[in-house]
Amino acid sequence: MSSHELKTGPLEYRTQQGQMNILGFWIFLGAEIVLFSTLFATYAVLFGRTADAPLPGELFEPGSVLIMTFLLLTSSFTCGIAIHEMRRGSKKGLITWMIITLALGLGFIGLEIEEFIHYAHEGATLQSSAYWSGFFILAGTHGLHVTVGIGWAILLLIQIAKRGLTPVTSRKFFIISLYWHFLDVVWIFLFTSIYLIGMVV
Amino acid sequence: MQLDEFFVTGEPLIYAGMVSIVLVTAAIIFVLTYFKRWGWLWREWLTTVDHKKIGIMYILSALAMLFRGGMDALMMRVQLAFPGMDFLGSQHYNEIFTTHGTVMIIFMAMPFLIGLMNVIVPLQIGARDVAFPALNALSFWSFLFGALLFNISFVIGGSPDAGWTSYTPLAGAAMSPGPGQNFYLMGLQLSGIGTLATGINFMVTIIKMRAPGMKMFQMPIFTWSTLVTAFIIVFAFPILTVALALMTIDRVFGSQFFTLTGEGLPMMWANLFWMWGHPEVYIVILPAFGIFSEVIATFARKQLFGYKAMVWSMILIAGLSFLVWVHHFFTMGAGAFVNSVFSVSTMLIAVPTGVKIFNWLATLYKSKIQFTVANLWALAFIPSFVIGGVTGVMLGMAAADYQFHNSYFLVAHFHYVLIAGTVFACFAGLVYWYPKMFGHKLNERLGKISFWFFLIGFHVCFFPQYFVGLDGMPRRVFSIIPEWMPLNVISTVGAFGMGLGFAIFVYNIYYSYRYSEREKTGDSWDGRTLEWATPTPVPFYNFATVPHVNSHDAFIEMKEKGETTFDEEKVEPIHMPSNTGQPIIMMGIAGIASFGLVFEWMWMAIAGLIGLVVMMGVRSFDYDDGFHVEVDEIKRTERKARGL
Amino acid sequence: MERNKRHIKKWLAMLPLSLVLLLSGCSQLTVLDPKGPVAESQKDLIMYSIWFMLVIVVVVFALFTYMVIKYRDRPGRGDKDYNPHLHGNTMIEVIWTVIPILIVTALSVPTVQTLFDLEKPPESTASATAAKEPLVIHATSADWKWFFSYPEQNIETVNYLHIPTDRPIEFKIASADSMSSLWIPALGGQKYGMAGMQNTLYLQADEQGVYDGRNANFTGEGFAAQTFEVYAESSEEFSNWVEQAQNSPELTQDQYNKLLKPGLTDRKTFSSTHLQWVNHGTMAGMDYAIELHGEAYEKELHLKSGDIEIDATDEE
Amino acid sequence: MAEHNKRIPVQHIVGFVLSLVLTLLAAWAALRSDLSTFWIITSIMILAVIQAGIQLFMFMHMTESESHNGHVPWNMMFHGFVLAAIVVAGSLFTMSFGHDHDPQHNGGHEQHQQQEEHSGGH
């Protein structure tokens, strides 16, 4: 609970509380890795258990999946730029790049929902087989994380508009940037192990 | 849903339970209203973020849960001693062993230890609170509402009845329809979230908030055990979260993870459950090791032997704990190779554990042992735990495990490690730190009587179970063949001995509250670590001035140098967090959402979920930065506390 | 205070002693009184490990007793033999790290060996004749009963089985619904039965007799009653029994479906097996029972202890 | 320190380009190359790990010293990934390796074989 404040360095690291919140979030991300890996493990073990539902290779379309991947990769990049702007002391830059990030995220979510609806029409739903349960819950959990991230970032944008760049607001933005990049990391593995492998095997 | 489906009907024992719940609730409401204590309760306890108060609430809840789980145990023992009496029917017996296991592990052992961590760890490292005090309160309320949700099941909706392991497909929607199993899933889910938050909280606290000068390898051993435990929690609990979520989705939304239809794989549940479950065992045993180390070192009046080896063995145990989960289902038929791998990794855990046992023994070498009650619990742990440990190695030998598995041999083993390890540690820790928490010691004479009843009762109860297990008695049966009767009767006698020991312990709390001498100094036992450097009762800011630490056993060094935690020259204003009602409200809403999901009332679940999201938003916009305690107030408080 | 300490001593001295006494009486315990080569090898492994464990227990107890008595804080002891700053000793710590490693190694080797041996049919020990082909029996559990199908003999029994002695039995274990575990402690360790999967367990009886078998894995309300008896008899007697059984009525699918319904049932014998319609151990057969009786799992049996005993006396 | 005030975030741009290239490479390997299934899976998993590293080091500032958090973030990520490997590989090892999932088809643990059978049915 020390209130000593450093005079230099990025704003988000200047108070001990700021450092601790960021550290706590890193630890939380460690837990998130395990959370997703459990879903990956379930998916992997249930691979092939499609029962009467269509096979993944029949439904996956490389085109839309690649677009989704590029949307998310780009949003991760723009989110990085937003933090770069924040560290340069530019509130406007931060807000602008963050809004771009969210727009890309929304695009990703839109495509994912469309994809899920398409699969459901083809007869692959949460209920249709163990494999598809694994697929929808794994991809869905990631999608839910992205959605939560968008809502969270909107709250933070309101706060920064009101309060400007302070150790507290910049800490909050730094943390959500960690979250956003992390979702990109998860997506890379999702893209690789669900879609690419699903289309190969 | 009809009202008679909502309430459990037809069991006299459960009617009695309902009546007592109503009476106790009415009594509490009456007392609070009559003495006009509602405001006090809200300000001092329900909204508190003080780690000491949160710890005390954890411990009190855990004691209540110990009572509940203990009653379950006694009922089971009565049934097994007199199966002909038809005391419990099969269904009722199944519900009771399910709730006994779940309550004892999730709602007793873990909260009890987390409670002790809460009270002690910040004091041991010279911190003024944990890293995230409001999150800490949130953890507690999530545990409490989870526990309430789980415990209410026996009067509303029906208890879960698929065992604390809840193996699918038995626990799935097809074979266990109704809210019972949902209570298990949601109760554990809700409290599990809090446990994960606690893990993160304590990791950050210990890493970032140690007193100046205190290096990692100078931390008190209980703090080390907490750090290692927090690490295990962070990496193990997400697995449980996912497993529970998947089964919930299976049951409520019809997915096919662990079902017999849609090519589901029921055994995957067992796999995920034990991937969490085995680390969980170490979550409840490592803090116990830490407590024993503190207690033994204090009452042996001697430095802990092999401090570094103790720390490294804990780290090693933590690592290995993630690599042995398959030994819980060697008999699933994964083949000789898989079983060999996990058999060897399981037995390897005996190595660091053995090192710890020998280090404790060596701590006693050339010491001056004082047989206080706390130390009796700690000393009794060593031989008792060794019996549990060696039989654990026997269970780890997969080929032999085919005969031990699912038998009372296994039941005896895990009670030997969990009671002699965790429960003894809870008692040792509570007795040891009791004066720090409540300002007076527990009566030693009553404490000793309760200790001997509990210890002898424990061995009488569980030692025969090894043999009845080798005679082929499986666990979880409510009816037995005549050959197993004599040993079961002996077991039951022992169980009542333990019950009596616990009752005396509880009476001792009341007796000591009335008659024990109040503590005058903060150093009740001539302690070695920083928690004893604070005055008793501990001021809410813990340390007026934080000492500089150069060694473990920091307080020994301070006493040698004549230092205290109140250096008038150096007092500065102290920044403290404000109380907040958000955690209890947030978790109350989460409790309502969970309750809705238990009964699959979607309107209620969705409304609760929206409320939860709104509360998170409120939290995000809350910029309350706490307050400062001024120098004058600190000086006044400290002078009064120290009688200066 | 003083009396308590004496208690500790007395009690601690008695514990290992009682352990030895109890162990000597152990030969009556089912698991330690094996009736076949599989249980024999497991018993040998258990006894082998028990001796190690006993040594560890005795050493720790002796050290503990010594420390507690010698270094207790008694009046007039003063600072003799008291060294509060003794912080460790690398040499001795290495020793007590290495010894457990050696013990673990000594336990691992026979464990792994036995594990691999148990995956094969036991080699015939009692009879001098050459190794016989294992007798295949499909053991299928359903809530809360056991079906034993003999595909070669084309017979099926419910809740009991006959086996010839001196011949390996190859159990093909599966479950129609909840996960179960086939355990005949006198003949050897258990293995799970699961729907959609098939486990193989080799057992063998060397001695004739009637042995208790059961489901050891919790399956719900009727779990305690999910038991069966194993009749191990000479191969002639076994052949006679098979002949007799082959004269029993055939098992119809309708009848089988009724039997699958959750509940208790008494012994039955049929001259055909259910394997002709469904093998619950395959992916195709895993949802057979649940599709058939999905609703029936909700119903409670209201089973009391007395019900089970009546059931047992009904048999034979 | 100086890096934070630079106008153009070189590190981010490099990271972004790299991640695009790696994604396309993985997609090519999976969809267009003639590699065997085993090598495809191996190579695209390696590419994914490299990409994850890019995010962690170049975007998330996992190791910057101004955080005053030392090696802890790195430590958590490292152990998180170790555990992920244990959970995924361990589950496959114990759930699929030795089991006879489908005795009639006699090849339960070889999943693609199973899959062919399924696709045959369609």
Per-residue pLDDT tens for B94-108? Answer: 999 999 999 999 999
- Binding-site residues on chain C for chain D (CB distance < 8 A): 172, 196-200, 279, 281-284
Under 8 Å between Cβ of B448 and C7: no
Judge: D94–B334 Cβ closer than 8 Å, yes or no. yes
> Closest approach of chain B CAs to the CA of D72, in angstroms?
9
Q: Within the 97-126 window of chain A, which residues sit less than 8 Å (CB to CB) from chain B?
A: 126
Average pLDDT of the residues of chain C: 87
Residue B461 placed within a domain: yes
Residue B90 placed within a domain: no
Judge: C196–D99 Cβ closer than 8 Å, yes or no. no
Residue B380 placed within a domain: yes
Look at the alpha carbons of C11, C17, C20, C22 in this order and tell me if their dihedral is positive or negative.
negative
pLDDT digits (tens, 9 = 90+) for B23-46: 988 999 999 899 988 999 999 999
User: Is C6 a residue whose pLDDT tops 80?
Assistant: no
3-state secondary structure of B622: coil
Containing H/E element for B629?
Answer: strand B627-629
Chain D residues with CB-CB distance to B202 below 8 A: none
Mean pLDDT on B503-521: 94
Under 8 Å between Cβ of B304 and B363: yes
pTM over 0.90: yes
Describe the strand order of the beta sheet including C199-203 as a list of residue ranges.
C199-203, C169-175, C135-142, C145-150, C155-158, C268-270
Look at the alpha carbons of B279, B284, B287, B288 in this order and tell me if their dihedral is positive or negative.
negative
pLDDT score recorded for residue C8: 53
Domain span at residue B324 reads 275-508
Q: Topology of domain C2-73+88-118, per CATH?
A: Helix Hairpins (1.10.287)
End-to-end alpha-carbon separation of chain B, Å?
A: 66
pLDDT digits (tens, 9 = 90+) for C86-136: 888 889 999 999 999 999 999 999 999 999 999 999 876 555 455 678 999
Structure tokens at B566: 């109140």
Closest by CA position to C213, among listed C238, C194, C191: C191
pLDDT digits (tens, 9 = 90+) for B142-176: 999 999 999 999 888 889 999 999 999 999 999 99
pLDDT score recorded for residue C191: 96
Nearest by CB to C111, from B343, B355, B365: name it.
B343
Residue A14 is which amino acid? R
3-state secondary structure of B627: strand
- Rounded Cα distance between B193 and B141, Å, is 11
> Closest approach of chain B CAs to the CA of D94, in angstroms?
6
Residue B331 placed within a domain: yes
Average pLDDT of the residues of chain A: 93
- Rounded Cα distance between C192 and C182, Å, is 6
Interface test with chain A among B195, B204, B258, B630, by most A beta carbons within 10 Å: B204
Chain B residues with CB-CB distance to C100 below 8 A: 350-351, 354-355
Closest by CA position to B357, among listed C100, D97, A71: C100
- Rounded Cα distance between C86 and B63, Å, is 37
pLDDT score recorded for residue B133: 96
pLDDT score recorded for residue A166: 93
Structurally, at CATH architecture level, domain A69-201 sits in: Up-down Bundle (1.20)
Chain D residues with CB-CB distance to A190 below 8 A: none
Structure tokens at B354: 């053995």
Q: Which residues contact B26 (CB under 8 A, 6 or more apart)?
A: none
Cβ–Cβ contact D115 with B under 8 A? no
Could you state, in order of their start, the residue ranges of all structural domains in chain C? 2-73+88-118, 135-298+307-314
pLDDT band, residue D8 (cuts 50/70/90): confident
How are beta strands C135-142 and C169-175 bridged, if at all?
A: parallel
pLDDT band, residue A105 (cuts 50/70/90): very high
List the single residue in B with minimal CA-CA distance to A45.
Answer: B268
pLDDT score recorded for residue C23: 57
3-state secondary structure of D116: helix
Cβ–Cβ contact B573 with C under 8 A? no
3-state SS record for B200-226? HHHHHHHHHCCCCCCCHHHCCHHHHHH
Judge: B335–D98 Cβ closer than 8 Å, yes or no. yes
- Rounded Cα distance between A154 and B617, Å, is 10
Judge: D104–C282 Cβ closer than 8 Å, yes or no. yes
Mean pLDDT on B246-261: 95
pLDDT score recorded for residue D121: 34
Alpha carbons within 13 angstroms on the beta-carbon side of residue B289 total 32
Cβ–Cβ contact A55 with D under 8 A? yes
CATH number of the domain encompassing residue B349: 1.20.210.10
- Rounded Cα distance between D112 and C311, Å, is 48
pLDDT digits (tens, 9 = 90+) for C128-179: 455 678 999 999 999 999 999 999 999 999 999 999 999 999 999 999 999 9
List the single residue in D with minimal CA-CA distance to C197.
Answer: D101
- Binding-site residues on chain B for chain D (CB distance < 8 A): 207-208, 231, 234-235, 239, 265, 267-268, 271-272, 275, 322-323, 325-326, 332-338, 342
Could you state, in order of their start, the residue ranges of all structural domains in chain A? 69-201
What angle do helix axes B267-299 and B424-438 make, rounded to 10 degrees?
A: 60
- Rounded Cα distance between B96 and B102, Å, is 10
| % pLDDT > 70, chain B | 99
Cβ–Cβ contact D78 with B under 8 A? no
Buried b (16+ CB within 10 A) or exposed e, B583-613: bbbbbbbbbbbbbbbbbeeeebbeebbebbe
Nearest by CB to C84, from B302, B382, B402: name it.
B302
Cβ–Cβ contact A157 with B under 8 A? no
Tokens 């009688």 locate to B643
pLDDT digits (tens, 9 = 90+) for B550-609: 988 899 999 999 989 998 889 999 999 999 999 999 999 999 999 999 999 999 999 999
User: Is B55 a residue whose pLDDT tops 50?
Assistant: yes
Mean pLDDT on B439-458: 96
pLDDT band, residue B533 (cuts 50/70/90): very high
Closest by CA position to C161, among listed C203, C216, C123, C190: C203
pLDDT digits (tens, 9 = 90+) for C231-241: 999 999 999 99
ipTM: 0.93
Judge: C197–D104 Cβ closer than 8 Å, yes or no. no
Nearest by CB to C100, from B176, B304, B351: name it.
B351
Closest by CA position to B76, among listed B95, B54, B57: B95
Buried b (16+ CB within 10 A) or exposed e, B216-255: eebbbbbbbbbbbbbbbbbbbbbbbbbbbbbbbbbbbebb
Chain A residues with CB-CB distance to B253 below 8 A: 126-127
Closest by CA position to C8, among listed B302, B294, B371: B371
Cβ–Cβ contact B571 with C under 8 A? no
- Rounded Cα distance between C167 and C208, Å, is 12
Nearest by CB to A41, from D23, D76, D87: name it.
D87
Judge: B575–A3 Cβ closer than 8 Å, yes or no. yes
Q: Which residues contact C163 (CB under 8 A, 6 or more apart)?
A: C135, C137, C169, C205, C230, C231, C232, C233, C238
Total number of domains in chain B: 1
Judge: D69–A26 Cβ closer than 8 Å, yes or no. yes
User: Is C84 a residue whose pLDDT tops 60?
Assistant: yes
Under 8 Å between Cβ of B536 and B516: no
- Which is the CATH superfamily of the domain at C135-298+307-314? Cupredoxins -  blue copper proteins (2.60.40.420)
Structure tokens at A37: 């890996």
Higher per-residue confidence, C141 vs D121:
C141
pLDDT digits (tens, 9 = 90+) for B279-330: 999 999 999 999 999 999 999 999 999 999 999 999 999 999 999 999 999 9
pLDDT digits (tens, 9 = 90+) for D30-85: 888 888 888 999 999 999 999 999 988 888 888 888 888 889 999 999 999 999 99
Q: Taking the CB of residue B367, how many other CB atoms lie within 10 A of it?
A: 27
Q: What is the DSSP code string of chain C?
A: -HHHHHHHHHHHHHHHHHHHHHHHGGGGSGGGS-SSHHHHHHHHHHHHHHHHHHHHHHHHHHHHHHHHHHTB--TT-TTTT--TT----HHHHHHHHHHHHHHHHHHHHHHHHHHHHHTSPPPP-S--SPPPPPEEEEEEEETTEEEEEETTTTEEEESEEEEETTS-EEEEEEESSS-EEEEETTTEEEEEE-TT--EEEEE--SS-EEEEEEE-S--STTGGG-EEEEEEE-HHHHHHHHHHHHTSPPPPHHHHHHHHSSS----EEESS-GGGT--TTSTTTTTHHHHHHGGGGGS-----HHHHHHHHHH--
Average pLDDT of the residues of chain B: 94
Chain C residues with CB-CB distance to D102 below 8 A: 196, 282-283
3-state SS record for B369-436? ECCCHHHHHHHHHHHHHHHHHHHHHHHHCHHHHHHHCCEHHHHHHHHHHHHHHHHHHHHHHHHHHHHH
> Closest approach of chain D CAs to the CA of B335, in angstroms?
5
Containing H/E element for B337?
Answer: helix B336-348
pLDDT digits (tens, 9 = 90+) for A69-99: 999 999 999 999 999 999 999 999 999 999 9
pLDDT score recorded for residue D9: 86
Q: Interface partners of D (3+ CB pairs, < 8 Å)?
A: A, B, C
Q: Which residues contact A95 (CB under 8 A, 6 or more apart)?
A: A157, A160, A161
Under 8 Å between Cβ of B642 and B539: no
Range with the lowest mean pLDDT among A15-19, B272-276, B537-541, D66-70?
D66-70
pLDDT score recorded for residue C301: 77
Chain A and chain B share a number of CB contacts under 8 A equal to 129
Judge: D60–A40 Cβ closer than 8 Å, yes or no. no
